[in-house]
Amino acid sequence: MKIVFSIWLTLFACTHAAGLDFTETRKELHAPEDAKVVTTDFDFTNHTDKPVTIRKYDAACSCIAVKIQGGKLRYEPGESGVVRTEFDMGNFYGTVDKTVLIWQDDDPEAKPSITLTAHVIIPTLVSIEPKTLKWEVNGKPDPQTIRINMAYTKPIKIVSVSSTSEAYSHELKTIEEGKSYELVVTPLDLKTPGLAIYRLTTDCAIDKFKVQQAFAQVRRPDPVTAAPKP
């Protein structure tokens, strides 16, 4: 029993010897659909018996701003603090992980000792499936369909569809006004590779969902999959 207790004490000491002890290093956040910035606080305490300094901190994405409470970087034994992250949601939607790296005291440049992660779940009000339609050069010019579904408390209507290429024809079908649509795309020429960008403009009140994009592509066959089997 004494041996087990000694091992536990050793592990406990090792856990906190690294420096600052964060209550959570990963947080899950459910963002409102109209939020522009999501803020997350990571609380920590210096549980060691010596001062600990945050030497450097850095966000893995320019969309994350990092602030440390009061700008304080040195923490005496028993002192606590907060690392605040502010995620600029921009045009992000779906599920994203945003990380912040923290270097303490003598951490090597290539190996920060702390990684904080904000796991952000952002509502997808306009879902497009698939995002890209694909045909092969000299293949069959069969029509393909992009399905657009709205997931909002209010109807979201598609008010216009435009394309960057005249090499495809398209037809927008209304399945349920403000809820469900289909965009049927047909290539007119499969002799050469090409890409079309479809711009779907909606009447959504939330800016980042007003314009959505989908793609149509004619590409050369993959040489690996196209090669005949021996």
3-class DSSP string for 105-144: CCCCCCCCCEEEEEEEEECCCEEEECCEEEEECCCCCCCE
Range of the domain at 183: 126-226
- In order along its 230 residues, the chain shows pLDDT tens digits of 444 434 343 444 333 446 899 999 999 999 988 888 999 999 999 999 999 999 999 998 899 999 999 999 999 999 999 999 999 988 888 899 999 999 999 899 999 999 999 999 998 999 999 999 999 999 999 999 999 999 998 999 999 999 999 999 999 999 999 999 999 999 998 999 999 999 999 999 998 899 999 999 999 987 655 555 55
Nearest partner of 184 among 193, 192, 194, 174, judged by Cα:
174
Q: Are residues 24 and 90 in the same domain?
A: yes
Q: Are residues 43 and 103 in the same domain?
A: yes
What is the reported pLDDT for 90? 84
User: Per residue in 57-73, pLDDT tens?
Assistant: 999 889 999 999 999 99
What is the reported pLDDT for 7? 39
Q: Are residues 80 and 144 in the same domain?
A: no
- pTM (2 decimals)? 0.70
Residue 8 lies in a domain: no
Q: Are residues 130 and 118 in the same domain?
A: no
Torsions phi, psi for 76 (to 5 deg)? -75, 165
Q: Total domain count for the chain?
A: 2
User: CB of 219 within 8 A of CB of 186?
Assistant: no
